[in-house]
Structure 1
Amino acid sequence: MNFRQLDLNLLRVLCAIYRSGSVTEAGRMLSLSQPATSNALARLRTFFDDELFVRSPRGLHPTRKAQRIVPALLTQLQVLEETVVSVEGFEPASSSVRWRLSLSDLGEMMFLPPLAQAMRAESPHSQLSNVSVAARQVSSALDAHDIDLAIGILDPSHGTIASERLFQEHFVAITAGDWRPASGRVGASLSAKQLAAASLAVAAPAATFHGSVDSMLTRLKLNDRIMLRARHYGALPELVTRTDLMAIVPQMYANSLAPRYDVRTWELPEHGPSYDVCMVWHQSATSDMSHSWLRSVVRRLFQRSAVDTTNPQK
């Protein structure tokens, strides 16, 4: 038995006869003539060296070999059909796609809850995973299909990677609600002198390290004011509310803290460093219907204009 010599179209005939118990009915199901269906059955019997079906009062009855083979074939043909159909169309409500995203720790806090909410409402059978990938390795992970989509401070130059800007963000400072500058007037923004007198905390997660904060502090000669370096953003709210430290964080994150923490947000000198937040994916997925749907959800939830820097839902 050489599988390479088998015409795979014959397997559809085998499954149709198994389902219908009739050569004539199987031909009707597949839009084949009765002679063509009979010929296909003869070829199947030769290939498998088995009768496959024997006559009974209720029609054709599968042999023991057919009973072993056909149920597995039915399952595999259904999977194949669903795969082919998914190229032509995509129904989120019935889909069971397993999405693999790459988000930093801050991205997981800011993006994953709204995404999960949308998925549960619109595609409840889909699964969502956040895969840890360093920013410099995102292109390679997309090339290897280890992830489907990444969101963050990303600008891959690899020719196989597509990118779309979601919004522009900038860094601000957060402090305890009762913190005040050591000198000068109290307003919405800090002067360079006021910032120079503060004790600073910064986060530098490996997945999305953004050098512009260090560059700003170097330019202002304030690197020696960094009293604490955290690996993640999650600890910073507790740190600033329990100490006199000032943390430098993205504005989107600062805005999300207000309902839960007694923190105050301050604009940094020269409006603080800014950056683009993008979603990136492999170009081979651009025309895929399911992936297009995923990108549309991300776009709907997070894309905003340059003038809107406060509400990520717009």
Structure 2
Amino acid sequence: MEPKHLDIFLLRCLTALISEAHVTRAALRMGMTQPAMSATLARLRALFNDPLLVRTEKGMVATARALALAESVRQGIALIDHALVPHDAFDAARADKRFDVAATESVGFVLIPALIAHLRAVAPGLRLRSHVPELARASHELEEGYSDLLISFMRPVPDGLHVSLLLRQKLAVIAARHHPDVRGSVDLEQYTRWPHVYYTRGREGNATLEATVDEALAAVGLDRRIGAWQPSILSSAAVVAASDMLATVPEHLARHFEATAGVQVLPPPVPMPDVDIAMYWHDRMHKDPAHQWLRGALRDVAARVRAA
């Protein structure tokens, strides 16, 4: 292979293909059509004299050659990106720029509207595109520049990422305002007897929040009945309001549902740890002035949410 036949865009496509192991998803990440990405994959295969991705019963998987290339290519792209970043002071009030933020649903519900309102007030030329991440690939999204920030429940930090705590929330139980049995408080017997609405994250399975609740019950030798599984924590509140089921959600969400969805908010009948919301970013963006400004703005927004 002649290196002169490779350009930075081809290398970005290569990392997207290896990370996604799926031509259509890689095309979406790169803003291309699926046929264009298929043609790019064919070109890369010819350049590297390797299939790079091969089809199996479980879908496409990267070859050994592709996996060996992946980390070096990502590091090279990060170095190029860093070299091209302007290091002048960032004037947010005049800037015309889009930030891409990955935020889990409940976290986004609490912080993203407040962040957008803040941007409109102090930096109207800044725009925000947010999406719900597939957490298994979230670190790759940050590494490859698909996301500028990840806002999520706090979790172990992979190499190459920075983390900053934004918000600490207690958990609360919600029940219908006119529940047949639960009124003003919920004891452990009621909590385990009445069915729960369980928030699931699509193909990834149980949400971190639900695992936290299950672990707290397991610590006292109990578990709970699941009456419904919902892909959205917001729809969970609607199910609770219309039924005799319970749900356990972060307190900021619970108070919103109390005011809008006809539910009562109750303390859990068993000790449960607080849930921490943090933001994560890749090392290549750590010193970028625009990114530093965004992180500061998000910290300010989180402080106002905490004080509300």
Aligned residues: 222
Structure 2: which 5+ residue stretches go unaligned? 1-82
Distance 2:167 2:159 in 1: 22
Partner of 2:135: 135
Structure 1 contact 200–226 (Cα < 8 Å) conserved = yes
Distance 2:176 2:275 in 1: 25
Structure 1 contact 100–149 (Cα < 8 Å) conserved = yes
Deviation at 1:250, TM superposition (A): 1.2
- Find the residue that maps to 1:95 and give its secondary structure: coil
Superposed counterparts of 1:1-314, under 5 Å = 86-179=86-179, 181=181, 187-188=184-185, 190-206=186-202, 209-210=207-208, 211-219=211-219, 223=223, 225-303=225-303, 311-313=305-307
Sort the Cα spacing of 1:273 and 1:179 in 2 relative to 1 into closer, same or farther, 3 A: farther
Q: State the one-letter code of the partner of 1:98.
A: R
Q: Deviations over 1:90-113 (max 9, x none)?
A: 111111111000011222322221
CA RMSD of aligned residues (A): 2.5
Deviation at 1:274, TM superposition (A): 2.5
Distance 2:196 2:270 in 1: 18
Q: TM-score by structure 1 length?
A: 0.64
Q: TM-score by structure 2 length?
A: 0.65
Structure 1 contact 174–248 (Cα < 8 Å) conserved = yes
Question: Which has the higher Rg, Structure 1 or Structure 2?
Answer: 1
Identity of aligned residues (%): 21
Structure 1 contact 181–198 (Cα < 8 Å) conserved = no
Q: State the one-letter code of the partner of 1:275.
A: V
Q: Deviations over 1:25-59 (max 9, x none)?
A: xxxxxxxxxxxxxxxxxxxxxxxxxxxxxxxxxxx
Distance 1:105 1:167 in 2: 15
Distance 2:222 2:265 in 1: 19
Q: Which moved more, 1:255-264 or 1:159-168?
A: 255-264
Deviation at 1:156, TM superposition (A): 4.1
Deviation at 1:123, TM superposition (A): 1.3
Sort the Cα spacing of 1:84 and 1:225 in 2 relative to 1 into closer, same or farther, 3 A: closer
Deviation at 1:161, TM superposition (A): 0.3
Structure 1: which 5+ residue stretches go unaligned? 1-82, 305-310
